[in-house]
Amino acid sequence: MQIKHIIASTHNTIWDKDGELVLAAQKERKAFQLIYDQWSVRIYQYFYFRTNDSASAEDLTSQLFLSALQALPRYQHRGHFAAWLFAIARNLSKAYFRKSKREVPLDAAYELPSSSNPSDEITHLDEIAQLRHLVLSLTEEEQELIRLRYVAELPFADMAIVLKKREDTVKKSLYRLQARLQSALLERNLLEENHA
């Protein structure tokens, strides 16, 4: 019995941080700033990777937090606040692309770090180019898996809610996608080595 209590209290501690922020913001609008501080960077990055445009990402981030603030009185926290925010983000980005009739692929938003060693930088640029080529071959759903996991840093449970799929399905899809990308990169490297 004691172990169950410890597990339950640990679980509550992990997800209650957002719950506490939500409760505070529902009581006092000024507390919404804490939610903004907690989530704005990841939300912005998600939108930036979707649009490849900082002004659009900023606008969409503002729209998201305005929507969240307006909907917050009706929100009931059940441990998946991030999923709720990113579901709003996903809907806003879909509306954005419907209006603009364009979509920027996931690869367009990569920023290249500079290196003091030119040969390292050339190698890195080559790796980025290979990855970009592979990313272009992904479906929108596969790109969304990558965005939610690696840009938004969502846990699988929240990804499942956002994508409206079972958690095990999301895990399997991402693991298969990772294996496929890794295999394709290895295959490309082997082909390049054989032609060199």
pLDDT at 183 over 60: yes
Same domain, 13 and 77: yes
Same domain, 94 and 13: yes
In a domain, 112, yes or no: no
pLDDT (0 to 100) of residue 21: 86
Q: What is the pLDDT of residues 147-182, one digit of tens each?
A: 899 889 999 999 999 999 999 999 999 999 999 988
Q: What is the CATH number of the domain that holds 83?
A: 1.10.1740.10
Q: What is the CATH number of the domain that holds 179?
A: 1.10.10.10
In a domain, 107, yes or no: no
In a domain, 111, yes or no: no
In a domain, 109, yes or no: no
Count the Cβ atoms, other than its own, within 10 Å of residue 152. 23
Rounded CA gap, 132 and 152, in Å? Answer: 19
Same domain, 11 and 84: yes
In the structure, what pLDDT confidence band is assigned to residue 120 with cuts at 50, 70 and 90? Answer: low
Q: What is the pLDDT of residues 64-83, one digit of tens each?
A: 999 999 999 998 888 789 99
Rounded CA gap, 72 and 29, in Å? Answer: 10
Cα–Cα distances in angstroms (integers) from residue 50 to residues 44, 88, 97, 110, in the given order: 10, 14, 9, 11
Q: What is the pLDDT of residues 12-59, one digit of tens each?
A: 443 467 888 888 888 888 889 999 999 999 999 999 988 889 999 999
Q: What is the DSSP letter of 164?
A: T
pLDDT (0 to 100) of residue 185: 83
Same domain, 93 and 125: no
CB 110 within 8 A of CB 101: no
Domain boundary, last residue among 102, 128, 152:
102
Q: Is the pTM of this model over 0.75?
A: no
Structural domain range at position 18: 1-102
What angle is formed at CA 88 by the lines to CA 84 and CA 92, rounded to 5 degrees? 170
In the structure, what pLDDT confidence band is assigned to residue 11 with cuts at 50, 70 and 90? Answer: very low
CB 125 within 8 A of CB 112: yes
pLDDT (0 to 100) of residue 117: 61
Q: What percent of the chain has pLDDT over 70?
A: 76
Same domain, 5 and 93: yes
Domain total of the chain: 2
